[in-house]
Structure 1
Amino acid sequence: MTPLKSFLLAMAIGTAVSGTALAEPVDKLQEVLDRGHLILGTGSTNPPWHFIDKDNKLTGFDVDMGRLVAKALFGDPDKIEYVQQSGDARIPNLATNKVDLTCQFMTVTAERAQQVEFTIPYYREGVGLLLMADGDYADYEALKAAGDDVTVAVLQNVYAEDMVHAALPEAKVDQYDSVDLMYQALNSGRAAAAATDQSALRWFMVQNPGRYKDAGYGWNPQSYSCAVKPGDQRWLNFVNTVLHEGMTGVEFPFYAESFKTWFGTELPTPAIGFPVEYK
């Protein structure tokens, strides 16, 4: 074969290979549909987000978000293979294709957004104040008016005192090594309020109906989103559509039932008419 013919053959092979690669882009949505089930990465130790219940079943609000996606894919929310992962495995498991989707109370940050594609938020976390239902203070305004007469229990953290003082500048702050000790301080009257995540506060109230109440004030907002591996816009668009319609559209009953189960709150039905996103 002459040098010219060898060159032309090599060019033809290269063009064919390149054309094949261009014709077969990564398509996670089709891959999941062909497989017949969703592979969801989530945790197992943090109620009400993800935990093993008394029937040895993985459950929680994060799990329900995965079930919502499976329902949209297959008409069956249980067509899921769960990968129970630690918090530090959330991004690596996406990067190595061990999971299709991670839903694990993952706070949206700019640094993480450089490594994964975040979906639209499905929950907005924040700090709240838990009170005894029959305690001395009716609500946040009463706590604030009491100034330094109020003691707030909080989980020990380098930022704990500043965090409490952002809401109650004059309050005394007692830090505890565990959540159980923090709640014990509230129950015993050593603290007038306990500062904790809003989700934990609501879950605790669900578990102890009538015993506690929410002071009615939240601060330090952060968004929780699911995440997918970068590079497949179709898959990201699909998951975003599912979550959006769960919160605002045809699957709202599914989302609302889960929200009430884990947080004890009945969500108002989305208003009919002009889309809420543009108000």
Structure 2
Amino acid sequence: MDETQDKNASTVRRGLLGAGAALGGAAALFAPRIAHAQTAPRSKLQTIKDRGKLIVGTGSTNPPWHFEDASGQLVGMDIDLARLLAKSLFDDPTKVEFVLQGSDARIPSLITDKVDIVVQWMTVTPGRAQQVEFTIPYYREGVGLMMLARGGRFTTFDQVKAAGADAKIGGMQNVFLEEWIHKALPLAKVDAFESPDATLQALNARRVDAYMADQSAMRWLMAQAPGRFVDGGYGWMPNSYASAVKPGDPIWLNWVNTVYKEAMMGVDFDGFAASYKRWFGIELATPKVGFPAEFS
């Protein structure tokens, strides 16, 4: 082999070696890789079951949702729902610890894992839904007018509206009170009071013609004094109440939703209906048998 042939042969060998290395690298790049097992995040559902009790954030001063009865026991619609969750988890409605908190603590207590769930008349809003995950709603709230059944100037919303500026509406003082009343009664006079009790006293004393309040609170007051008050028959500013959980745990959220849905439509309906009757005076119709009404 002469010098020229030897150089040519060496060049060919280097080319083949380079090509082989490139193919080997490509083969390694595209070769199947060994799958490594991923550990699934532990759901709060299992954590709660292992702990043996449910921890619920709620309040204690807002009937009929959450308040202390004459014996000092925590009661209300939110409390019934929390006990339903405990019963569904442990077959024991008492296995729940209540963390009493203000409305401003609802989201922080979830994010910091102080509580497992918030059941505290929480209105669903897009802003809050960026911070927590809401369950399906269990109540549709709104405001309305409560008036004296006898001895007052008006007994219906239509009468109040027809009176225009001659009607005076009372409500608990807040920055939105006039705006809320004037959404439905643009001409009515507005009188603000420092508490619901003070507003109720003004209505009883006939210093105001009607009391604007959440409809759930109105129903509760009417149930406490049968025949004394009357609902004006019109509601506005609807909003949904739901429970809230910390984001990122679909197993826990799905389980709570299952319990709530079956309370409203299925196996636990009798208990749910009894709570609605007790706290709101509302008689729920028994869900129809056959095709699920929620999908119709």
What per-residue deviation string (whole Å, max 9, x for no partner) do you get for residues 14-56 of structure 1? Answer: x99x74xx22422111121222221111111212111122222
Q: Structure 1 residue 87: deviation in Å?
A: 1.7
The 2-side partners of 1:175 and 1:140 are apart by: 19
Q: Which residue of 2 aligns with 1:218?
A: 235
The 2-side partners of 1:27 and 1:59 are apart by: 29
Q: Structure 1 residue 192: deviation in Å?
A: 1.4
Structure 1: gaps (5+ residues): 1-14
TM-score (norm 2): 0.84
Q: Which residue of 2 aligns with 1:116?
A: 132
The 1-side partners of 2:61 and 2:197 are apart by: 15
Q: Secondary structure at the match of 1:236?
A: helix
Match of 1:142 among 147, 159, 182: 159
Q: Secondary structure at the match of 2:289?
A: coil
Q: Does 1:81 align with 2:93?
A: no
Q: Matches of residues 220-235 of structure 1 in structure 2 within 5 Å?
A: 220-235=237-252
Q: Which residue of 2 aligns with 1:187?
A: 204
TM-score (norm 1): 0.88
RMSD: 1.7
What per-residue deviation string (whole Å, max 9, x for no partner) do you get for residues 62-98 of structure 1? Answer: 1111111112112222211111122222112211222
Determine what percentage of the aligned residue pairs are the same residue. Answer: 57
Q: Which residue of 2 aligns with 1:102?
A: 118
Q: Structure 1 residue 137: deviation in Å?
A: 2.2
The 2-side partners of 1:23 and 1:227 are apart by: 26
Q: Structure 1 residue 207: deviation in Å?
A: 1.4
Q: Structure 1 residue 157: deviation in Å?
A: 2.1
Q: Which residue of 1 aligns with 2:222?
A: 205
Q: Does 1:65 align with 2:81?
A: yes
Q: Structure 1 residue 202: deviation in Å?
A: 0.9
The 1-side partners of 2:220 and 2:121 are apart by: 14
Q: Matches of residues 13-52 of structure 1 in structure 2 within 5 Å?
A: 19=37, 22-52=38-68
* Aligned positions, number: 262
Q: Does 1:157 align with 2:174?
A: yes
The 2-side partners of 1:228 and 1:25 are apart by: 16
Residue identity opposite 1:152 in structure 2: I
Q: Secondary structure at the match of 2:46?
A: helix
The 2-side partners of 1:266 and 1:216 are apart by: 17
Q: Which residue of 1 aligns with 2:146?
A: 130
Structure 2: gaps (5+ residues): 1-33
Aligned CA distance change for structure 1 residues 183 and 277 (closer, same or farther; 3 Å): same
Larger Rg: 2
